[in-house]
Amino acid sequence: MIRNMRTIGCSAALLALLALHAPADAAQVNVPASTFHRQMGGPDVIMYSGNLSTNFSASTITMIAPIPRVPGFGAVTVFVDGYGVTGTYNCTVSSSVVSKSFARSSLVTWSQSVNFSAAEMPSSSYLTVTCTVPSDGAFKGITVTG
């Protein structure tokens, strides 16, 4: 009887400790740079190295990445993270309802956020990122929070 009470007491303490360290908001999806691929065929000129996917050609190419849905409903923010030293990125983040575009001149490291309201991001919608990427331009990844 005493042994069962100790087990229950230890289990309750462990559950309480785990509850204190649970994440406050689990509605976040991280997408690695390796998800990016060339949009319209052609030679494979994307170099996947470490945490980067880099345009390894001498010209601008279009890269695309699908983004999984964020758990839950409502507005989301998409963060696109890149790396480069020359040229301009022209990107569009699209849901099934709306597309939003941005342009970024290459800096050593950059991050761009795009916000979607709940009306622009219905529960059945998926997101896609499409970007023209300058030579030696790279992506680090995508984060979606909701």
Q: What is the pLDDT of residues 54-94, one digit of tens each?
A: 999 999 999 999 988 776 668 899 999 999 878 899 999 99
- pLDDT above 60: residue 4: no
pLDDT above 70 coverage of the chain, percent:
80
pTM: 0.76
State the Cα–Cα distance between residues 146 and 75, nearest whole angstrom: 6
- Region 8-13: what's the mean pLDDT? 43
Quick one: which of 67, 30, 41, 38 has its CA closest to 137? 38
Domains of the chain: 25-145 (2.60.120.260)
Q: What is the mean pLDDT of residues 48-57?
A: 91
Give the rounded distance of the alpha carbon of 83 from its chain centre.
15
Q: Which residue has the higher pLDDT, 71 or 143?
A: 143
Find the mean pLDDT for residues 99-126. 89
